[in-house]
Amino acid sequence: MQRHHPNRNKRVRESVPSINSDLCARTQLLRASCSSCVQACPTGALFETESDTGGEVALGLNTEACTGCGACRAACEKSAVSIPLNLPVAPAGSTGVTLVCQHHSTAGMGPAIPCLHALGLNDLARFWLAGIRKILLASGDCSTCPLAAQTRLQDRIDQFNILAQSRDLPELHHSTAGPKALHHWCNDTSAPDRGRRAFLRGFAAPVLAASDAAPDDRSALQRFLELGEKRKGRLFPHVPVIAANTCTACDNCINLCPNGALILVKDNNGETSYVVNASACTGCCLCEDICDFSAVEVRTMHPEATAIQLTRYHCRACGVARNATGPIPPQDGLCHICRQTRQHKKLFQVLE
């Protein structure tokens, strides 16, 4: 990511976002279309620009325009964007948590958040897994705030509750924090300190419960989405759907998917299929971007897709063993490469 400093003599604010290039979809495929963080930024601080090497589109950050609101963090479900939020720690046995925006009148009395709308689905899942069922909100006037994100926290809570309903799980309730809740928030001794150590810890994902600190490479959202596995019609935020009549079974989407949302599975009978692990999908759309035949579509708030059966055959032109979607091989007996290049037609020539 490139950083643009209009005035290098000015001190760069500590709350600018940090982008993990190992997680960002833009670094995994040159033609990646993901621009969630750019679209979410209310001030245009994040922008697309040509890379230093030329010919590639990179992310740029204008640190002077960045307000540290965290809208980019909430928009990136790959957790590639991090920014310290100073989230409160959920006390043991508590079922409620109070979140205060830095623009609220009481913000200076406790651990306020730059913008409540910086919380994403993963944060809500972390709260839920920690036993939180009620979120009390204290914010400024979002209707006049120039930093207000396009997607509000209340909208994300509504989306999270739809996911919970489809699993027959308790919902997250939210309401405006009253004087009593704000009094407890101001005097909460479990709130993290605001010193240098707390700032540095803020770059790591906040830990709200011991269950979230257990060795597990799954995100809190993924662990939540895997609940209710016996419930039919479970919804997922993002689901890659493969069109069997268009798919050439080239495995490009399988090989590229960084989260294991698309898997090639071989059962005990030796039969193979494409299986969708929707709980692992972050909506990066790399599978869409890599498919030359537009056979993959990432749908939002959708049930888990059915597996795609594959059939093994040998291409009659190149002789290479390939997979085909469906119970029978292609009628022409050609793999997608030979069908596209027609190189086998040039192997023999009849001379008169």
Tell which residue, 108, 109, 166, 104, has the closest CA to residue 136. 104
pLDDT of residue 206 exceeding 70: no
Q: What is the pLDDT of residue 196?
A: 46
Supply the CATH classification number for the domain 1-80.
3.30.70
Indicate the pairing of strand 235-242 with strand 296-303: antiparallel
Confidence (pLDDT) at 236: 97
Residue length of the chain? 352
Q: Above 80 in pLDDT, residue 345?
A: no
136 SS3 class = strand
What per-residue confidence (pLDDT) applies to 90? Answer: 65
40 vs 76: CA distance, rounded Å:
9
Average pLDDT across the chain, whole number: 82
pLDDT in tens, 130-178: 999 999 999 888 878 876 667 889 999 999 999 999 999 999 999 998 8
- What does the angle CA 165 – CA 177 – CA 86 come to, to the nearest 5 degrees? 85
19-28, 29-38, 191-200, 335-344: which has the minimum mean pLDDT?
191-200
Output the pLDDT for position 93. 76
pLDDT at position 55, please? 60
Domain range summary for the chain, segments of one domain joined by +:
1-80, 84-231, 235-341
**Residue-level pLDDT at 166:** 96
Residue 44 CB coordination number (10 Å): 10
Query: To the nearest whole percent, how much of the chain has pLDDT over 90?
Result: 43
CA 275 from chain centre, in angstroms, equals 20
Given strand 134-138, what is the order of strands in its sheet?
A: 96-100, 134-138, 173-176
pLDDT tens digits, residue range 228-276?
988 889 999 999 999 999 999 999 999 999 999 999 999 888 889 999 9
Q: How far is 16 from 276, CA to CA, in rounded Å?
A: 35
Residue indicated by tokens 């035949």: 293
Residues 235-341, CATH architecture? 2-Layer Sandwich (3.30)
Could you tell me the pLDDT band of residue 14, with boundaries at 50, 70 and 90?
Answer: low
**The pLDDT value given to residue 205:** 41
Q: Do domains 1-80 and 235-341 have the same CATH topology?
A: yes
| Tens digits of residue pLDDT in 64-106 | 898 888 899 999 998 999 888 878 776 677 889 999 888 888 8
CA distance 252 to 290: 7
The pLDDT value recorded for residue 159 is: 97
- Residue 114 pLDDT: 85
What are 250's two structure tokens? 């080239």
Residue with the larger pLDDT of the pair 87 and 292: 292
Higher pLDDT, 186 or 219: 219
Q: What is the pLDDT of residue 268?
A: 85
Which of the four pLDDT bands, split at 50, 70 and 90, describes residue 348? low
Average of per-residue pLDDT across 17-22: 88
| The pLDDT value given to residue 170 | 96
